[in-house]
Structure 1
Amino acid sequence: MTGTRQESGGAWIAGSDKPERTRVRIGYMPLADCAPVVMASVLGFDEAYGIKFELRRELSWTGMRDRLVGGGIDAAHVLYGLLLGLQMGIGTRASQVAVLMNLNRNGQGITLSRALAAKAPDAAALARLVHGGALRPSFGHTFPTGNHAMFLYYWLAAAGIDPFEHCKLVTVPPGQMAASLAAGHLDGFCAGEPWGQRALREGAGLPAVSSEEIWPDHPGKVLGTSADFAAANPNTCRAMVAALLAAARWLDASGANREAAAEVLASPGYVNAGRDLLQHCLAGRPGQAQAADGWRGHNGLHFFAGGAASFPWLSDGMWFLTQQRRWGLLRADPAYAAIAREVSRIDLYRDAAAMAGVDLPDASMRSSTLLDGRIWDGSDPAGYAAGFVCAA
């Protein structure tokens, strides 16, 4: 790289590395895991890298998708699965996208209504009810190709429940999940926090399983943009990622930082939820000890983890493609690895990590063991997708 550094922030501010845009419109959803985007703006991490975030709150993932495709926003705190569905043209016209970084790990969950939880305290009991013909539950998720739909389907299928045959599936904006459960419109839902916790505290629901139990240390939201924006504004993308890495590192540095972030997010302009509720989601249960690798919020919510939570692993994107293939959203096996390499902009992330002083992993793939004992490492995606019993 060429240029000079700001001593305070480490940003490239001159020469060919100057950001092409100094103001960047970033969409976000009112969720606990929007914390890096909001705090990067509030604490000035963005300005340290020569840009300014203009935050735009969205109320549905469909609205977020449409604004990103239509150019109403430049980048977004967005579901990984949504972006890949857009790349593949599932349910909409295909649009080339870019994943610049992961924004968090874990922090989602499946919540059941109290009435359903009383009848089926676990997935095995739910399967017995469903197969006995006593129940066809209605489950909410947040977007058809998104993370929550894939996690919900995985949990159900691991118990022998076909989500399409045995359940009614409804797309609901995350902020409406708790109210829909309380009103009896849903028997359960999968969504990001704080909405599962709100359902619990308001007496409408009980937690069934955390997303961390389904896929330990899974990717959550990502920083996404269009491929055209990334191509035209690579330095702006590097600056965005560096600023968000700084914010993620700050969030994972201490519980006090997470509690301060919860106070900011609680305001009507951001998540508009109770401060105590958000402190629980971000900083963990009262008395929870600090983990060896940093702070873990409710349901294992991590933002940084030494940089491992932020890296755009190729195998993460490939997993969502395998699930979209499993459930018939993709009619044939895609070129899994090639698509992941095209979408996950590790080149831009690598430069941004150097700017922010963040270490890189030794490889671009990682291995995980999911709820049903299956190992996912990206080595045989077509075989992995074809190996499930509940599949379209």
Structure 2
Amino acid sequence: MKKTVGLSAAAALMTLVAPGVRQGAWAAGSDAPEKPNLSIGFIPLTDCASVVMASVKGFDKKYGLTITPSKEASWAAVRDKLVSGELDAAHVLYGLIYGVQLGIGGPKKDMAVLASLNNNGQAITLSNLLKSKGVTDGASLAKQIKAEPKEYTFAQTFPTGTHAMWLYYWLAAYGINPFTQAKVITVPPPQMIANMRVDNMDGFCVGEPWGARAIRDNIGFTAVTTQEIWKDHPEKVLGTTAAFVAQYPNTARAMVAAILDASKYIDTMSNRSEVAKVISAKSYVNTDFDSIEDRMLGQYDNGIGKKWKDPNKDHPDYLAVAKKVNRIDIYKQAAAMTKTPLPKSDMRSSKLIDGVVWDGSNPKAYADGFKVKV
């Protein structure tokens, strides 16, 4: 799972920050948050981590805020509480914000997306009953539906959300009409496992950790991850109302800054296990640590014999590490003192025994080029 701050997050922040404003000034003076105490809603999912960690690690305090994460039961509840003002902001489905903006399937209100919280990290799970009939992917599901016509039930989390889009798109890609050949229902993310366990559905699309949890509970398997459908797709966002931003511009800016700091903390791979442990607690996602950690680290098991490391997982910054360890700056100073000639470039390229070219200026491409990966 690629848990990363998207470009839209940075763009959103830049539109809110006045030139020359320093972080330290946000906690006092004219740039002080107009509303320092914030209630930010979230749904129990791995990608709520930025909101939770902003509070747990104290990134909010750095900007003069106190963020209280508010655990919500469903996306409909998040929508209604955002609209009413009961929540100041929320970890929310991208499409939900636009649905409210347009008044689709509910109240209409001007909304604002302040930052992207993550890319990727969702999956479509199919039941073990389907697996017992030979279904392992979209193509075999289409054959099963054709061979045994009946009402097949699939769940998504909110009608205008990304999970509905992934599910419809994936079914249609294999020639399955999601409106005539399937019954699609709405189920809150934490309730997916319980509903599949009692055979209320044949499959569901939801964010992690519930895809991984279905495998651990031996009730389903991963048919496809959403990053396989659309690589590096946008997913959850930090959303609020346009009125909130207009009334509390300093607060909005400080809130995004705190979320950005939390997101950068999560982006550091060495912090992922700690983050998984924190958000696995009952007050947050309320599930086992392993169901969160494995996929957060890019370690996938689809439950039917395939294990892999997600090719969309984060890479170390190879170049930055090399520059930190190789003190070229000191060498250059010494070379100048001794009039020792220097290479034309700090980086070099070399051809190895198999003909593959190592390009020091692009180590990520070199690492990605291997057929055998660990």
Question: Which of the five TM-score ranges fits, normalised by the shorter chain?
Answer: 0.7 to 0.9
Opposite residue 245 of structure 2, the aligned amino acid is: A
Q: Could you state the TM-score of these two structures normalised by the residue count of structure 1?
A: 0.70
Which structure would you say has the larger Rg?
2
| Aligned amino acid, residue 27 of structure 2 | I
Please report the TM-score for the alignment, with normalisation by the length of structure 2.
Answer: 0.73
Shift in alpha-carbon separation, 1:63–1:19, aligned structure 2, 3 A: same
Do the aligned residues in 1 keep the contact of 2:26 with 2:250 (CA within 8 Å)? no
Q: Give, in whole Å, the separation in 2 of the partners of 1:300 and 1:137.
A: 31
Which residues of structure 1 form unaligned runs of 5+? Answer: 287-296, 306-392
User: Which residue of structure 1 aligns with residue 250 of structure 2?
Assistant: 235
Does the 8 Å contact 2:25/2:31 carry over to 1? no
Q: Equivalent residue of 1:164, what SS?
A: coil
Q: Which residue of 1 aligns with 2:174?
A: 159
Q: Report the equivalent of 1:189.
A: 204
- Deviation, structure 1 residue 12: 2.4
Counterpart of 1:161, as a letter, is: I
Aligned to 1:280: 294
Aligned-partner Cα distance in 2 for 1:153–1:42? 37
**Which residue in the other structure is 1:47 paired with?**
61
Q: Which residue of 1 aligns with 2:115?
A: 101
Percent identity over the alignment is 51
1:271-313: CA deviations, max 9, x gaps? Answer: 1111122211322329xxxxxxxxxx969577xx9xxxxxxxx
Q: Deviations over 1:168-209 (max 9, x none)?
A: 111111001011111100000000011111111110001000
Determine the structure 2 residue equivalent to 1:128.
143
In structure 2, what is the Cα distance between the partners aligned to 1:76 and 1:4?
25
Deviation at 1:11, TM superposition (A): 5.3
Structure 1 Cα separation of the partners of residues 205 and 72 of structure 2: 19
8 Å CA contact retained: 2:125, 2:211: yes
Question: For 1:281, what is the secondary structure of its paired residue?
Answer: helix
The alpha-carbon deviation at position 73 of structure 1 amounts to 0.6
Q: Within 5 Å, give how 1:1-392 maps onto structure 2.
A: 1=18, 5=22, 10=24, 12-119=26-133, 120-132=135-147, 134-254=149-269, 256-285=270-299, 300=312
Q: Which amino acid aligns with 2:252?
A: C
Q: In 1, are the aligned partners of 2:142 and 2:175 still within 8 Å (CA)?
A: yes
Aligned residues: CA RMSD: 2.2
Conservation of the 8 A alpha-carbon contact between 2:27 and 2:62:
no
Instruction: Indicate the larger mover: 12-21 or 95-104.
Output: 12-21
Alignment length, in residue pairs? 291
CA separation in 2, counterparts of 1:301 and 1:174? 23
Note the alpha carbon deviations across 1:364-392, whole angstroms, 9 max, x for none. Answer: xxxxxxxxxxxxxxxxxxxxxxxxxxxxx
Structure 1: how far apart are the matches of 2:239 and 2:207? 18
Match of residue 322 from structure 2:
none
The 2-side partners of 1:150 and 1:176 are apart by 19
Letter in 1 for 2:56: V
Q: Distance in 1 between matches of 2:46 and 2:293?
A: 9
Q: Distance in 2 between matches of 1:274 and 1:11?
A: 40
Structure 2: how far apart are the matches of 1:25 and 1:252?
Answer: 24
Give the Å deviation of 1:114: 1.0
Q: Label 1:172 to 1:115 Cα distance change in 2 as closer, same or farther (>3 A).
A: same
Report the equivalent of 1:375: none
CA contact under 8 A between 1:127 and 1:159: conserved in structure 2? yes
SS of 1:93's partner is: coil
